[in-house]
Amino acid sequence: MKLMAWTPHFETGLDLVDAQHHSLVDMVNQAAPHLALNDEIAKLAVRPLLDNLTQYAAIHFRDEERLMAERQLTQDYQVHHRQTHQVFVDELTQMRQQYEQDGTLSGTDLLRFLSSWLSFHILLEDQNMAQQMKDMEAGQTAIQAYVRVSLPQDNAHEVYNNSLLELFTLLTERNRKLVLANESVRQSQAELKAANQSLERHVQERTRDLEATLSQLKQTQGQLMQSEKMAAVGQLAAGVAHEINNPVGFVTSNMGALSGYIDQLFGLIQTYQAATASLPVEQRQVVDAASKKIDLDYLREDIPNLLAETREGLARVKRIVSDLRDFSHSDDGQWAEADLNHVLESALNVATNEIKYKAKVVKELMPLPAVACIAAQINQVLVNMLVNAAQAINTQGVITVRSGVQADQVWLEVSDNGCGMTEDVQKRIFEPFYTTKPVGKGTGLGLSITWEIIQRHHGDVSVHSAPGQGTTFHISLPIKPIAM
């Protein structure tokens, strides 16, 4: 289910603004199927959407207001446009308070507000802003451009815009009245609580006792379920490893025996060839013809290569089984000591399908001390960086992974010789929703999540890049954990 479909009518011609609008429409459409149910699932979907909208508003409104100032639109219009931003922030704040205080904000109420806001802001306000910028680029003054968007429009357009404005105004007023009504209800509840203070204290004490008991029960139940889940996953991984490792083991053993047998056969053949020198000419010709028919010289050269490749493939299967077993362990948030070289090797195996057709991998790894971390999260960071490195390479290239120790820090690097980034892009790559990929191809959250994980580990992540000279991401983590 899509609440809104992106159409050319939404486009303002301002690349930054349009990209942010598109990400907002995608965000709302992703949440819409859950919010529209208006049940417990919808309630769970409200909070993350409010969080994302708050973060989006801070970035988007800042960029729009900076853009209006840079293009020198009239102060009157800038003040008016900022007021529409403030209305959105105020409404968002009120809805968050309503949700957190009494939980009465429904998913459908939030969807109605967003649909009216998207239509009002994108189709009316931001189009007016973009039109003024276009007129000023065409030679008009800021005042002339402002007067033009303020003039009466054709009847159909004016009725449509007025309807949007009226719809948004009505919804805003309705939300305010609902907040006032909720405040009145809360005040009445407070008065009732004061009138029954003695009884309420008793109820609260019993409620606290019950909540503590329920909380302890839920915690115990959650721990039991997680233990059972992890035990099942461990058994499954162990079973899979056992089932695969057994045949791999005896195949590896058989390959060793087969290599010995083949060496013996080639030795025997060499003895036979030496003995043919004493045979009559006719018999030597028969033996030579048979050797040429099966291309004995080629077989003597190719069979050892085939055996070596087979042994290498068996070793690869063993490594994949080991990495798959490690990767299948669910991250329960527990810190543990890990060898980050091993984590990096596991990430390379996970990302191999993204890399193998685009780049050769060069490893420059130094022995590392064990580091206390959440290994699955560091694995996620490295997989993301490796995939980004592969995507930065247009045809064929090289990805270099490095590791080392400096003072009390362990560091990892992922480098590519791909297209590189400008300084402006480097300054913004860790911002939420910022992406250099085409619209609809990326959320712009991958490196933001990477930054948050490294910060959670009290580490540091930096980037060095230049257009046409590739990119290097550098991660450093403390050997001794600051907090766990």
Residue at which a domain ends, from 161, 178, 195: 195
Alpha-carbon separation of residue 359 from 341, 364, 395, 437, 459 (angstroms): 20, 16, 8, 20, 28
DSSP state for residue 277 in the 8-state scheme: G
Could you identify the residue written with the tokens 């994302």?
Answer: 52
Residue at which a domain ends, from 328, 359, 384: 328
Q: What is the dihedral of CA 315, 317, 323, 329, to 10 degrees?
A: -140
Q: What does the alpha-carbon distance between residue 160 and residue 282 come to, in Å, rounded to a whole number?
A: 103
Q: What are phi and psi of 429, to 5 degrees?
A: -65, -25
Low-confidence ranges of the chain (pLDDT < 70): 1-5, 36-39, 41-42, 104, 152-183, 185-186, 215-242, 319-333, 431-446, 448, 481-484
* Residue 219: inside a domain: no
Same domain? 89 vs 118: yes
Same domain? 108 vs 26: yes
Pairing mode of beta strands 359-364, 397-406: parallel
Could you identify the residue written with the tokens 């008065």?
Answer: 191
Enter the tokens of residue 265. 């056969």
Same domain? 42 vs 188: yes
* Residue 175: inside a domain: yes
Number of structural domains the chain divides into = 3
Same domain? 182 vs 271: no
Could you identify the residue written with the tokens 């329960």?
Answer: 332
Cβ–Cβ contacts within 10 Å for residue 210, how many?
10
* Tens of pLDDT, residues 72-112: 999 999 998 998 888 888 888 888 887 877 776 777 777 77
Residues in a beta bridge with 135? none
Q: What's the whole-model pTM score?
A: 0.36
Query: Which alpha helices (DSSP H) does 329-462 contain, by range?
Result: 340-350, 352-355, 375-391, 423-428, 446-456
CATH code where residue 407 lies = 3.30.565.10
Q: Is 242 helix (H, G, I), strand (E, B) or coil?
A: helix
Amino acid at 105: L
Cβ-based neighbours of 182, under 8 Å, separated by 6 or more: 98, 101, 102, 104
DSSP state for residue 276 in the 8-state scheme: G
CATH code where residue 83 lies = 1.20.120.50
CB 4 within 8 A of CB 121: no
Q: What does the alpha-carbon distance between residue 150 and residue 427 come to, in Å, rounded to a whole number?
A: 37
Q: What is the pLDDT of residue 176?
A: 52
CB 399 within 8 A of CB 364: no
* Residue 424: inside a domain: yes
Q: What does the alpha-carbon distance between residue 473 and residue 480 come to, in Å, rounded to a whole number?
A: 22
Angle at 313 (CA atoms; ends 310, 314), nearest 5 degrees: 90
Residue at which a domain ends, from 328, 360, 376: 328
Same domain? 51 vs 179: yes
Q: What is the pLDDT of residue 331?
A: 47
* Residue 273: inside a domain: yes
Q: What is the pLDDT of residue 157?
A: 47
Same domain? 459 vs 443: yes
CB 442 within 8 A of CB 435: yes
Give the N- to C-terminal CA distance of the chain in Å, as an integer: 41
Q: Is 117 helix (H, G, I), strand (E, B) or coil?
A: helix
* Residue 213: inside a domain: no
Q: What is the pLDDT of residue 261?
A: 82
Q: Is 173 helix (H, G, I), strand (E, B) or coil?
A: helix
Same domain? 152 vs 20: yes
Same domain? 320 vs 457: no
Residues in a beta bridge with 187? none
Q: In what order do the strands lie in the sheet with 397-406?
A: 359-364, 397-406, 409-416, 471-478, 460-465
Same domain? 45 vs 188: yes
* Residue 441: inside a domain: yes
Task: Give CA 303 to chain center in angstroms.
Answer: 46
Tell me which residue range forms the domain holding 374. Answer: 336-478
CB 374 within 8 A of CB 335: yes
Same domain? 63 vs 104: yes
Same domain? 164 vs 22: yes
Q: What is the pLDDT of residue 227?
A: 43
Enter the tokens of residue 86. 């403030």
* Residue 238: inside a domain: no
Cβ–Cβ contacts within 10 Å for residue 66, how many?
11
Tell me which residue of 49, 52, 57, 55 sits closest to 88, measured CA to CA.
57
Q: What is the pLDDT of residue 440?
A: 40
Q: What does the alpha-carbon distance between residue 277 and residue 279 come to, in Å, rounded to a whole number?
A: 6
